[in-house]
Amino acid sequence: MVRHFLTLNDFSSEEIRRLISTAEKLKVGKEKSKILKDKNIAAIFEKPSTRTRVSFEVAVSQLGGNFIFLRGDELQISRGEPVKDTARVLGRYVDGIVARVYKHDDLVELAKYSGIPVINALSNLYHPCQVLADLLTIKEKKKKLEGLKLAYIGDGNNVCNSLLIGCTKIGLNISIGSPKRYEPKKEIVEKAKRNAEKSGAEVEIINSPQEAVRNADIVYTDVFLSMGDEIEREERMKTFLPDFQVNAKLLENTSPEAIVMHCLPAHRGQEITDDVLEGKQSVVWNQAENRLHAQKAIFIHLF
């Protein structure tokens, strides 16, 4: 049976832990694999990318495969071809698809009709590859996952959604501090709460960043303006700044041992200040590196 990686909600807590463990072993060289030898991976990118594209391309190469990069405007989808038609054709040419898309429904369509594994490299709803790398980073820095508290400050976007799912799957408490109207979608929160009932994690959605970071082990933020939200720039800046900026003053509400995370790219002076991003609590560069190891683990799991 073909398995896809569209959202962490499709994976059990045991499977997520296994993915993290595999990534840990790959990172330190205790596990090596050429699982993609003689395999071709098509990468559909409708949005710009630095970390996601490069980490996936390197991952495929290190696993022995061939990476075929396809910009959205290079495909017939951009001229009106149904996604399901593209999916069925690619499924006869290649062995897997990595897709970074505007609409999550397009990923679902690719998975439904391609007959080969499809990996979500970012959609409007989820960014599971990022959060798998985040969990790996937290495990490295804190030596555990269960029982910790992660505070996410900012927009209830795709990264926030995947953090809600990933944290509650493995028993990591999560507090979301977002302005009113910018909280994560209710259906995502409900999924997270159902996960939390099984794992024992706590879920909190509040409008106070100070309360959200109180006693947090991890403080996480992302851009206030995701790709596609630029038209709302002025309104969002007025809403988020200055209260929802991760800065030295906000970090006074948590402990000096708390780590600071950002999935990048960062808009310094908006969602996070330069001194915090470059400070001793920041682990953002470890996060970025861990995208490579986490994605290699995904390929090993799916193939």
Catalytic annotation, residues: 100, 127, 130, 222, 263, 291
- Render 47-104 in DSSP notation, one character per residue: S--SHHHHHHHHHHHHTT-EEEEEEGGGSGGGGT--HHHHHHHHHHH-SEEEEE-S-H
Rounded alpha-carbon distances, angstroms, from residue 198 to 12, 17, 88, 187, 232: 11, 15, 37, 18, 38
Cis check: omega of the bond before 128, within 30 degrees of 0: no
Q: Residue holding tokens 């006869």?
A: 92
Question: Is residue 286 a contact partner of residue 141, using CB atoms and an 8 Å limit?
Answer: yes
Residue type, 67: F
Nearest to 303 by CA among 175, 137, 117: 117
Q: Residue holding tokens 């509400």?
A: 253
Tokens of 104: 């999550």
Rounded alpha-carbon distances, angstroms, from residue 212 to 127, 154, 209, 219, 270: 22, 11, 5, 9, 19
Nearest to 55 by CA among 129, 109, 105, 138: 129
How does DSSP classify residue 9? Answer: G
How does DSSP classify residue 7? Answer: -
